[in-house]
């Protein structure tokens, strides 16, 4: 997903619901004989309400009886963005990503939330309705598939520029890929949190830039704890050799470079424990409108945050 305007994105903007589209795009590309539209439990003869008494119904305190349908309510950090409704169990048809797709098709029971009431970004096109879990918790699709012994507990998700994309459950990544462990919060693995040892700008790894980061598909761009942010932007500004400009409704550090000059953008890396590093592939955001001009307007798409952890969004990190 790429944005087409140079706008500052509000605090974490949840695209979790977007995963539902992505899943069906995947289905559509692998199972062309089926017309996979938006999921409706009433049109599926394998759907059933998850009962309140089920161990994965974590809100049973609001249920009257154990056979009642399990409700859910999710509140995102984007202002006023929420989805609530009922939890359903259904069978997902999955085909192998490999060559012998036909022989390897399987059915798996998964759980998803069908929205009845959506607010905020949902109503502004962020997603149709409902939620599909991709987190580390027991109720998420990758966790359920792994528990059923179908895959390793991992997945990848990729979007094309045209907003279509696919999720590959069980994707183990490339052999050369680096890794770093997820960290628990209060002893629980509820979110994808990693520990960054330092933020590196060019060849300089900045001192005292250790922080925890939430790998957050819901934040379009990246937010850094204020103190880390200040160190990073000052060093970036020092190393980039383009004219600094101030733009309304944009990030704080933006530049205007004439197309004739070679712009040197310092590479940005995250250093993790055990010498693992991660190169940020798209460290700058280029205003697409400026590319047709004689100059290029670009920004460092990073914002300060009052939180003591960072939120790393897919647009800058992947
Ligand atoms: C569900 O519907 C499909 C297609 O209409 C049919 O082939 C299948 O037998 C049905 N399954 C059950 C459990 O009723
Ligand atoms: C969120 O909702 C409250 C109450 O309805 C409203 O006052 C506020 O302006 C809303 N905020 C945004 C960012 O939409
Ligand atoms: C998830 O499932 C495991 C094994 O079934 C269980 O030990 C653990 O307590 C569950 N975690 C949560 C948060 O429910
Ligand atoms: C989006 O782009 C991908 C890759 O370029 C292509 O395979 C796919 O068909 C496109 N999807 C749509 C809906 O245009
Ligand atoms: C930026 O650096 C490049 C390479 O060192 C140089 O060619 C270019 O003229 C510089 N541009 C500015 C605006 O300093
Ligand atoms: C960028 O610089 C060019 C000249 O090099 C100028 O024409 C243009 O207005 C500048 N754009 C902004 C947004 O400052
Ligand atoms: C990390 O890299 C440095 C320098 O390359 C090396 O001295 C050190 O032993 C490495 N540490 C680990 C844990 O691999």
pLDDT in tens, 192-239: 999 999 999 999 999 999 999 998 876 778 999 999 999 999 999 999
Same domain, 6 and 116: yes
Ligand 6 interacting residues, C-beta cut-off 6 A:
245, 256, 258, 295, 297
The three-state (H, E, C) secondary structure of the chain, written as one string: CCCCCCCCCCCCCCCCCHHHHHHHHHHHHHCCCCCCCCCCHHHCCCCEECECCCCCCCCHHHCCCCCCECEEEEECCCCCCEEEEEEEEEEEEECCCCCCCCCCCEEEEEEEEEEEEEEHHHHHCCCCCCEECCCCCCCCHHHHHHHCCCCCCCEEEEECCCCCEEEEECCCCCCCCCCCCCCCECCECCCCEEEEEEEEECCEECCCCCEEEEECCCCCCEEEEHHHHHHHHHHHHHHCCCEEECCCCCCCCEEEEECCCCCCCCCEEEEEHHHCEEECCCCCEECHHHHHCCEEEEECCEEEECCCEEEECHHHHC
* pLDDT tens digit sequence for 99-130: 655 567 888 999 999 999 999 988 988 778 88
What is the atom index within ligand 5 of the atom nearest the CA of 242? 13
Q: Are residues 141 and 211 in the same domain?
A: no
- Do 18 and 140 fall into the same domain? yes
Same domain, 118 and 221: no
Q: Is residue 178 part of a domain?
A: no
User: Would you say residue 7 lies in a domain?
Assistant: yes
* Residues 165 and 260 reside in one and the same domain: no
Which sign, positive or negative, has the C-alpha torsion 153, 35, 220, 259? Answer: positive
- Domain, as residue range, for 198: 183-312
Average pLDDT over residues 260-273: 87
Question: Is there a domain that residue 59 lies in?
Answer: yes
Which ligand lies nearest the alpha carbon of 123? 2
Residue 29 has pLDDT above 50, yes or no: no
pLDDT reading at 14 higher than 60 = no
Mean pLDDT score of the chain = 81
Query: In Å, how far are 27, 28, 38 from 35, measured between CA atoms?
Result: 9, 7, 10
Based on the fold, state whether residues 106 and 195 are members of the same structural domain.
Answer: no
Which comes out higher in pLDDT, residue 24 or 282? 282
Contact partners, residue 105, CB within 8 Å, separation at least 6: 93, 94, 95, 96
Q: 57 and 23 in one domain?
A: yes
Among candidate residues 215, 282, 247, 290, the one with its CA nearest the CA of residue 4: 290
Final residue of a structural domain among 169, 202, 231: 169
Give ligand 4 pocket residues (Cβ under 6 A): 160, 162, 164
Domain presence at residue 317:
no
In a domain? residue 119: yes
Residues 251, 293 share a domain: yes
Ligand nearest to C-alpha 153: 3
Q: What CATH number is associated with residue 275?
A: 2.40.70.10
Per residue in 150-190, pLDDT tens?
Answer: 988 889 887 777 767 788 898 888 888 888 999 998 898 88
- Do 134 and 262 have their domain in common? no
Residue length of the chain: 318
Q: Is the pLDDT of residue 302 over 90?
A: yes
Domain tally, the chain:
2
For residues 219 and 258, state if they share a domain. yes
Instruction: Give the residue from 139, 137, 81, 88 showing the smallest Cα distance to 114.
Output: 88
Which residues are near ligand 2 (CB < 6 Å)? 79-80
Which numbered atom of ligand 2 lies nearest the CA of 80?
1
Same domain, 18 and 154: yes
Q: Are 170 and 181 in contact (CB under 8 A)?
A: no
Least confident of 33-37, 113-117, 277-281, 295-299: 33-37
More confident position, 260 or 207? 207
Domain end (from 169, 200, 231): 169
Q: Examine residue 175 and state whether it is found in any structural domain, yes or no.
A: no
Q: Are 220 and 313 contacting, i.e. CB atoms less than 8 angstroms apart?
A: yes
* The domain boundary residue, chosen from 109, 137, 169: 169
Q: How far is the CA of 299 from the centre of ligand 6 (A)?
A: 14
Percentage of the residues of the chain whose pLDDT score is greater than 90: 45
When pLDDT is cut at 50, 70 and 90, the band that residue 140 belongs to is very high
Give the ligand at the shortest distance from the Cα of 205. Answer: 7
The answer, yes or no, to whether residue 287 has pLDDT greater than 60, is yes
Task: Identify whether residues 160 and 36 lie together within a single domain.
Answer: yes
Ligand 2 centroid distance, CA of 80 (Å): 6
- Cα separation, 130 vs 128, in Å, equals 7
Pocket-testing residue among 295, 297, 298, 299, ligand 6, by greatest number of atoms within 8 A of Cβ: 295
Q: What is the Rg, in whole angstroms, of the alpha carbon atoms belonging to the chain?
A: 21
In a domain, 17, yes or no: yes
Average pLDDT over residues 36-45: 82
Report yes or no on 174 lying in a domain. Answer: no
pLDDT tens, position by position, 46-69? 999 999 999 999 876 789 999 999
Predicted local confidence at residue 24, as pLDDT: 31
């Amino acid at each position: 997903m790429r944005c087409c305007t140079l706008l500052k994105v509000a605090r974490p903007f949840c695209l979790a619901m977007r995963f539902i589209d992505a899943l069906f795009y995947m289905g559509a590309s692998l199972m062309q004989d089926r017309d996979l539209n938006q999921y409706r439990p009433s049109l599926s003869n394998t759907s059933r309400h998850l009962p309140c008494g089920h161990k994965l119904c974590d809100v049973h305190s609001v249920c009257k009886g154990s056979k009642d349908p399990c409700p859910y309510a999710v509140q995102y950090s984007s202002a006023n963005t929420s989805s609530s409704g009922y939890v359903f169990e259904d069978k997902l048809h999955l085909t192998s990503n490999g060559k012998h797709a036909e022989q390897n098709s399987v059915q798996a029971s998964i759980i998803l939330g069908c929205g009845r009431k959506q607010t905020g970004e949902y109503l502004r096109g962020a997603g149709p309705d409902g939620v599909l879990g991709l987190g580390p918790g027991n109720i998420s699709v990758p966790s359920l598939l792994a528990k059923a012994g179908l895959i390793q507990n991992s997945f990848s998700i990729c979007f094309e520029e045209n907003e279509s994309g696919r999720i590959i459950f069980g994707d183990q990544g490339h052999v050369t890929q680096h890794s770093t462990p997820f960290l628990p919060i209060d002893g629980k693995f509820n979110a994808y949190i990693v520990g960054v040892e330092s933020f590196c700008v060019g060849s300089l790894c900045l001192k005292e830039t250790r922080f925890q980061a939430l790998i957050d598909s819901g934040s379009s761009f990246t937010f850094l704890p204020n103190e880390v942010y200040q160190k990073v932007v000052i060093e970036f500004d020092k190393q980039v050799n383009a004219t600094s400009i101030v733009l309304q409704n944009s990030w704080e550090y933006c530049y205007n470079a004439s197309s004739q000059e070679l712009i040197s953008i310092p590479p940005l890396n995250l250093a993790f424990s055990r010498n693992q590093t991660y190169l940020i592939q798209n460290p700058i955001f280029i205003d697409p409108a400026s590319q047709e001009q004689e100059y290029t307007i670009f920004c460092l798409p990073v914002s300060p945050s009052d939180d003591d952890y960072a939120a790393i969004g897919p647009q800058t990190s992947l």
